[in-house]
Amino acid sequence: MAQAKRLKSGRWRIYREPDKIVRDPSSGAIANFRTLTEASRWWSQVNPREPSLQEAHKCARCGAYFGANTPWTMYAGRPYHLAHVPK
């Protein structure tokens, strides 16, 4: 399943797997977008048979994204690594 991640610049990039960046099939360039909505719209047009694009979970404390097998939890409606949950 593809996920969108927000870069430090504020733009969004799509990943098929944690380390496999999605490229624009027409140009071969790495696809990046101003908004998550723009990324989702593009993904739906380019990959109509794929599941809809999801935003990757990001730790509210450290800002790192969770890997597929990384344990995490929700606290006050925000995702955290288990070691970063506020006390």
The number of CA neighbours under 13 Å toward the Cβ of 11 is 8
Per-residue pLDDT reduced to its tens digit, 45-66: 999 999 999 888 899 999 998 8
Q: Specify the 3-state DSSP secondary structure of 10.
A: coil
Give me the pLDDT at residue 66, please: 85
- CA torsion 80-82-84-87 (nearest 10°) is 100
User: What residue spans define the domains of the chain?
Assistant: 1-56, 57-87
The pLDDT tens digits of the residues spanning 10-36 come to 999 999 987 899 999 999 999 999 999
- Determine the Cα–Cα distance for residues 2 and 85; give it in Å rounded to an integer: 27
